[in-house]
């Protein structure tokens, strides 16, 4: 699954530089995650770095973009090819 940022985001700017896939960017009101680039850090780290640094815990799994670990790894491989 890709991750998403909820309306609880306070625009603190700590998640964007932590994303190894550059999937996080500024949206109109809050930061957003591009589900086509988000691998939940699979291939880079053991756990999503954005979730680790988020001070308000507003980055859950995105139920609209379910993916298996294998699919996340395939996406990682395509992004880093």
Residue 23 belongs to some domain of the structure: yes
Domain count, the chain: 1
> Is residue 9 in some structural domain?
no
* pLDDT score recorded for residue 2: 92
Note the pLDDT of residue 56: 96
For 34, the domain range is: 16-80
- Residue 32 within a domain: yes
In a domain, 4, yes or no: no
CATH number at residue 74: 3.30.70.20
Report long-range pairs for 61-69 (Cβ below 8 Å, ≥24 apart). 61/1, 61/2, 61/3, 61/4, 62/1, 62/2, 62/3, 62/4, 62/33, 62/35, 62/38, 63/1, 64/4, 64/35, 65/1, 65/2, 65/4, 65/35, 65/38, 66/1, 67/1, 67/2, 69/42
Residues of the chain falling short of pLDDT 70:
none
* pLDDT the model gives residue 27: 96
**Which pLDDT does position 1 carry in this prediction?**
78
């Amino acid at each position: 699954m890709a991750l998403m940022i909820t309306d609880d985001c306070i625009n603190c700017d700590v998640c964007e530089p932590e994303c190894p896939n550059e999937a996080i960017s500024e949206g109109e009101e809050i930061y957003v995650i591009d589900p086509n680039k988000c691998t939940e850090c699979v291939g880079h780290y053991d756990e999503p770095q954005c979730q680790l640094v988020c001070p308000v815990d507003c980055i859950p799994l995105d139920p609209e973009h379910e993916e298996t670990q294998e699919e996340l790894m395939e996406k990682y491989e395509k992004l880093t090819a």
